[in-house]
């Protein structure tokens, strides 16, 4: 089954890391990307670069910033293939951001 691992961090999370912590985390991400169960992943630009789109009465409306104003923001995601939820949780626990205080939401993808 495919799962999305949605990584939520505090704003400024990456900037708060020391150079050594940042390099160690990147090395862990690259190791995770080498795992055969890993399909794809991406780090997102800062939340200030987000634009939210809505359609109201057939008109497109855009707003600068994210949809919700929260302390934790979506900072990145990974798509993985796992036999079951437990295996997906094990992979989520390997995400360096979790070790550094972030949270990961594990969500199964709809199979089409």
Q: What is the DSSP letter of 44?
A: P
Question: What per-residue confidence (pLDDT) applies to 11?
Answer: 80
Beta pairing class for 103-108 and 51-56:
unpaired
**Residue (of 10, 20, 27, 6) closest to 91 by Cα position:** 6
pLDDT, residue 69, reads 65
* pLDDT at residue 82, as a whole number: 97
pTM of the model: 0.84
For the chain, domains (ranges, CATH) are 2-108 (3.30.70.1060)
CA distance 95 to 21: 14
Tell me how far apart the alpha carbons of residues 106 and 88 are, in angstroms, rounded to a whole number. 7
Q: What is the pLDDT, as a whole number, of residue 70?
A: 67
pLDDT at 7: 94
For the chain of 112 residues, list the mean pLDDT of each consecutive stretch of 10.
Answer: 94 84 91 94 89 94 78 90 97 92 95 88
Who contacts 36 (Cβ-Cβ below 8 Å, separation ≥6)? Answer: none
| Beta partners for residue 21, in sequence order | none
């Amino acid at each position: 089954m495919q799962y999305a691992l949605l990584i939520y961090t505090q704003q400024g999370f990456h900037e708060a890391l020391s150079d050594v912590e940042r390099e160690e985390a990147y090395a862990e991400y690259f190791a995770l990307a080498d795992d055969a169960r890993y399909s794809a992943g991406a780090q997102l630009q800062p939340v200030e670069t987000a634009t939210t789109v809505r359609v109201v009465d057939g008109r497109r409306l855009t707003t600068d910033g994210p949809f919700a104003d929260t302390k934790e923001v979506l900072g990145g995601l990974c798509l993985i293939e796992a036999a079951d939820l437990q295996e997906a949780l094990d992979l989520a626990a390997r995400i360096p951001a979790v070790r550094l205080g972030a949270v990961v939401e594990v969500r199964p993808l709809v199979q089409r």
